[in-house]
Structure 1
Amino acid sequence: MHRRRRLFLLVLLVAAVLFAGRLAWSIHPLSSPGTPTVIKVVSGESLSEVADDLAVHHVLSSTLSFKIDLAIFGAPIIRPGIYVVRQNSSHGAIRKALSGGPNANVLYVTPGMTIRQTALQLATIKDSAYTSAFKAVIRDESANNAFGASSLEGLLGTGAYIVGPNETPYLLVQHMKDRFIKQLRRAGVTPSTKLHGLSAYELITAASIIEKEGFYEKNMPQVGRVILNRLARGGGLQMDATILYSLQKDGVKVTPSMLKIDTPYNTYLHPGLTPTPICQVGATAMHSIIDPPAGKWLYFVVVDQSGTEAFAVTYREHLANIELARSRGL
């Protein structure tokens, strides 16, 4: 009987030692903190749910030990927002990060956005000094790219960017440039690519026009073919989006007076592509210039409320499509 009791106590002692060791390791990991990770805390989320999220992202190794830590040292008041914490952090470091409040913001760069619009978006999450510095970096880095271009328009990657406490404007721009090169490679394009008689930079420029003129992904492949067909004829592209870009306008109708404004971006007055891309480019627009469908289309116009564009080979067909659009109040 005494032997069984001693054995039970020994097992209990070993278990306690193992648990204490596990708890100590969880509270103070032996390895250094790892990769910065983004945690989003939403309004009404419980501390237990936050702990589960931290574990999923490998910030915590054990939610149980973290809850014990909170019971001992006190639970912080967590405000909704974006937090950047490192994987494999100590419990103390996690508590400090959470109690300090949100320490990062998210900048969303969507296909079709210009650098000017990106700066405006940045101004909604960062102060004026940061935004001004961002604009200065964009200006200073304009010629520092893999394409020999004089502007970074169209050469910044799309998607979400975490603007944390250590993300300087310079680093943010570098991350945008690096992401674009990666996105371009996924599309099968490098800075030295030549296709359809166009350089890589010209492909990007054409894709940016597709992005604006197609607007919806369903239209983009055929718009890509229209652009190649018009370039092959040697005339003007006659794309409204290029005029609006030069006027820093978006989503408005081009007026007859706008058509007469002589800028390098007026593709009614000047043949060929614009000097630079006119916006940031998404994967669909890029693919639409790389591998557009076969066809002889030269014209297109929006013909319904869902944004569907009708494509035509002859101007007579195009006029019929315009009449259809007008009959539908477009």
Structure 2
Amino acid sequence: MSEDQNQHSEEGSFKEQIMRALEEGRKNREVESTKKPTEGSSTSEAKKDTDDDGDLASSYERLFGNRQSKKDTTASEQKSKPIEKEVKKEEPPKEKELSIDKSSNSESKSKAEIKKKVEKPAAEDKKTINKKEQKTEPSKAETKQPTVRHSGTKKTTKAVPSIEESKPKDVNEPKNDEQVEEEPSIFHRLGEKFEELRHMDEEFEGDLSEESNLKRAERRKEDRVVRKIVYILTIGILIVAGVLAISGYNYVSAGLKPLDKNDKKLVQVEVPSGSSNRQIGDILQDGDVIRDGMVFNFYTKFKNLTNFQAGYYQFSPNMTLDQISKELQQGGSAEPLDDASKLTVPEGYDVDKIAGLVAKKTDFKKEDFIKVMKDEKFFDQLKAQYPDLLGDAANAKDVRYRLEGYLFPATYNVHKNRSLEDLVTQMVDTTNQILTPYYSQIKEKGLTVQEVMTLASLVEKEGVTQSDRKKIAQVFFNRIKAQMPLQSDISILYALGEHKEVVTIKDTEVDSPYNLYTNAGYGPGPFDNPSQEAILAVLDPTENDYIYFVADISTGKVYYAKTYEEHMELVEKYVNKEK
């Protein structure tokens, strides 16, 4: 049975114990009255009142003394000591045992009650009382009782026998201070009960607090696990999203570039009337002209390119999406195209050679093409359309053709319904597309577009391999920095207006602004129409400190020198060896 259940059972039998104590006192008074019938009535009444008080006190002591002993802690048990009762010689004829609390408060109360109860009313009873005292007085060893442990608590108590005197005191007997000591009031006992209940409530709250802390710790643990899972999932999603974003970016970037920069083979495709941008992209993808039709569709929508014309077209895999879009806007042929309608401009051709090619491949005459090249009004229209490309050419002086160097070498479709201006515009537009990514780089180098195109036109014919072109471009920069003429034979041939295998000393004396043997700097402008590789060689030359170079005519290999003496030795060895 738990401590709380013991407490309830004790409180439940409270009335019963009091009734038993009162009954026991009544019986004792009756026995006493039979022994001493001669005593006066007043004395009997006083003794009766005294006995009632003693019996009631004894009952309260048995009730609350036992209840308090069960609630004492181990600490109070260690402080308590065995109580030795000093009993006076005068004893009542009957004794009762009292349960004395081992705590410090109960000990003082029990002593006071015992002193009050052991007072002897008459001297003639000393012998009997002394005999009974010897039998009932507990020794120090006998007062030590075994510790009683209650289940469910850590409190311990010791049961100590006490002596109770039921014989009433003489009302006329004087009382000292110890005898007048009053028993604790019922309010004090109730206060102790409330204090016990408060301690029990604190213990209960402590248990609840501990349980709440355990639940809170468990929730925190679960929250940490959930946060960890969310963190891992978030990182995983971000990684997947990053991979998809990078893959998508690479895919779109590849789709915007030409399918094959080195493949110039023309592919003829037909665009039916009423075809959408998506359908045209699929047609181009099926014809191996572009990489992805969907990318072409998105590109045309992003650029807001519309008004694509139906007809037959010839495209090559090295064309950009912008070039293909502009061809589609200009319109195709109503009939399938053949080789006679294609015009391929080789790398390094100048305006005169391109005019002859146009006259040969089309119905246009060479004079008509040259006339378009000298048309200042037409040039101004192109300048307004391509200001970054032709702005410097518009300010050039003593040039033969302002569009020299800006007719990009590529393959073009020549339709009967197109004019020469349309053909030339298509060539200039292609050059602008090639240079657009490099305009900012040209400005950072402190160059103009006219200077870049002029050096590129020289590098185009002076070098064969890309490695030699980049080295030759740096040689030209070194000579310009040293304020030396470029001394390129290409400039002499352009000034003469003819093609020769060997340039003589007399040829280098020709009176022309294009003669770079006698004129320092870049000259008026380009000498031909360079390729993209020659332009990139000028924009990214190979660093060196050479001033001269010469090419072996038979092998095409180029040799470099830092001094004029080294250069002349190379000329005698690789150029004049056959003479």
Q: Which residue of 2 aligns with 1:97?
A: 335
Aligned residues: 251
The residue type paired with residue 116 of structure 1 is: D
When structure 1 is superposed on structure 2, of 143-152 and 256-265 the one drifting more is 143-152
Matched, 1:31 2:266: no
Q: Which amino acid aligns with 1:119?
A: A
Contact 2:453–2:535 (8 Å) recurs in 1: yes
Deviations 1:125-168 (A, max 9, x none): 11244x43332222213454322414000011121111122221
Report what 1:323 is aligned to: 572
Work out the CA distance in 2 between the residues paired with 1:103 and 1:309.
37
SS at match of 2:343: strand
Q: Distance in 2 between matches of 1:54 and 1:268?
A: 50
- Amino acid corresponding to residue 342 of structure 2 in structure 1: V
Contact 2:455 2:538 (C-alpha < 8 Å) held by counterparts: yes
Question: Which runs of structure 2 are paired with 1:68-147 in the superposition (5 Å)?
Answer: 84=313, 97-98=335-336, 102=338, 105-129=341-365, 131-140=366-375, 141-142=378-379, 144-145=382-383, 146-147=390-391
- 1:261 is matched with 510
Residue 233 of structure 1 corresponds to: 482
1:198 aligned counterpart, secondary structure? coil
Q: Which amino acid aligns with 1:231?
A: I
Other structure's SS at 1:193 match: helix
Q: SS at the partner of 2:506?
A: helix
Contact 2:340–2:361, Cα closer than 8 Å, also in 1: no
Quick one: higher RCO (CA 8 Å, sep 6+), 1 or 2?
1
Task: Please identify which structure carries the higher helix content.
Answer: 2
Question: What's the offset of the Cα at 1:257?
Answer: 1.5
Query: What CA distance in whole angstroms lies between the structure 2 residues aligned with 1:314 and 1:103?
Result: 51
**TM-score, normalized by length of structure 1?**
0.67
The answer on whether the counterparts of 1:303 and 1:328 sit within 8 Å (CA) in structure 2 is no
Partner of 2:165: none
Counting aligned pairs with the same residue, the percent is 29
After superposition, the Cα gap between the structure-2 partners of 1:185 and 1:306, relative to the gap in structure 1 and judged at 3 Å, is farther
Quickly say closer, same or farther: Cα 1:218–1:306, change in 2 above 3 A. Answer: farther
One-letter identity of the residue aligned with 1:132: E
1:149 aligns with 2:149: no
Determine helix, strand or coil for the equivalent of 1:322: helix
Give distance in 2, aligned partners of 1:158 and 1:171: 16
Which residue of the partner structure matches residue 425 of structure 2?
174
Whether the 8 Å CA contact 2:493–2:499 is kept in 1: the answer is: yes
Cα-to-partner distance string for 1:258-309 (whole Å, 9 max, x where unaligned): 1111210111111101101001111221111111111001111113622011
1:163 aligns with 2:414: yes
Whole-angstrom CA distance in 1 between matches of 2:544 and 2:275: 58
Contact 1:229/1:297 (<8 A) preserved: yes
Q: One-letter code of the match for 2:439?
A: V
1:306 aligned residue (547, 551, 555): 555
For 1:169 and 1:203, the matched residues in 2 are separated by 27
Q: 1:209 — aligned with what?
A: 458
2:391 counterpart SS class: coil
Shift of 1:222: 0.9
CA distance in 2, matches of 1:132, 1:33: 41
Alpha carbons of structure 1 residues 223 and 32: separation in structure 2 relative to 1, 3 Å: same
Question: Is 1:244 the equivalent of 2:480?
Answer: no
Report if aligned partners of 1:216, 1:307 keep a CA contact under 8 Å in 2.
no
Contact kept in structure 1, 2:341 and 2:413, CA below 8 Å: yes
Q: Is it true that 1:189 corresponds to 2:439 in the alignment?
A: yes
Aligned CA distance change for structure 1 residues 287 and 103 (closer, same or farther; 3 Å):
closer
Deviation of 1:325 (Å): 0.3
Aligned-partner residue type, residue 249 of structure 1: E
CA contact (8 A) 1:112 1:212 kept: yes
Which shifted more, 201-210 or 136-145? 136-145
Structure 2's unaligned 5+ residue stretches are 1-271, 289-311, 316-333, 384-389, 395-401
Taking a change above 3 Å as real, the CA distance of residues 134 and 34 of structure 1, as seen in their structure-2 partners, is farther
1:255 shift after superposition: 1.4
SS in 2 for 1:227: helix
| Deviation of 1:320 (Å) | 1.9
Distance verdict in 2 for CA 1:195–1:158, change over 3 Å = farther
For structure 1, which runs of at least 5 residues remain unmatched after alignment? Answer: 1-28, 38-52, 59-82, 87-95
Are residues 33 and 219 of structure 1, via their aligned partners in 2, closer, same or farther at CA, if it must alter by over 3 Å?
A: same
The one-letter amino acid of 2:408's match is G
Q: Is the 8 A contact 2:457 2:534 kept in 1?
A: yes
Q: Secondary structure at the match of 1:194?
A: helix
Q: Distance in 2 between matches of 1:282 and 1:85?
A: 21
TM-score (ref. length: structure 2): 0.39
Give secondary structure in 1 for the equivalent of 2:371: helix
Match of 1:3 in 2: none
Q: AA paired with 2:373?
A: I
The separation in 2 between residues aligned to 1:112 and 1:308, in whole angstroms, is 19
CA displacement at 1:329 relative to structure 2: 2.9
How far apart, in 2, do the equivalents of 1:290 and 1:32 lie? 41
- The DSSP-based 3-state class of the residue aligned with 2:513 is coil
Report the CA distance shift for 1:106/1:228 in structure 2 as closer, same or farther (over 3 A): same
1:310 alignment partner, SS class: strand
SS at match of 1:281: coil
- CA, structure 1 residues 195+268, in 2 after alignment: closer, same or farther (shift >3 Å)? farther
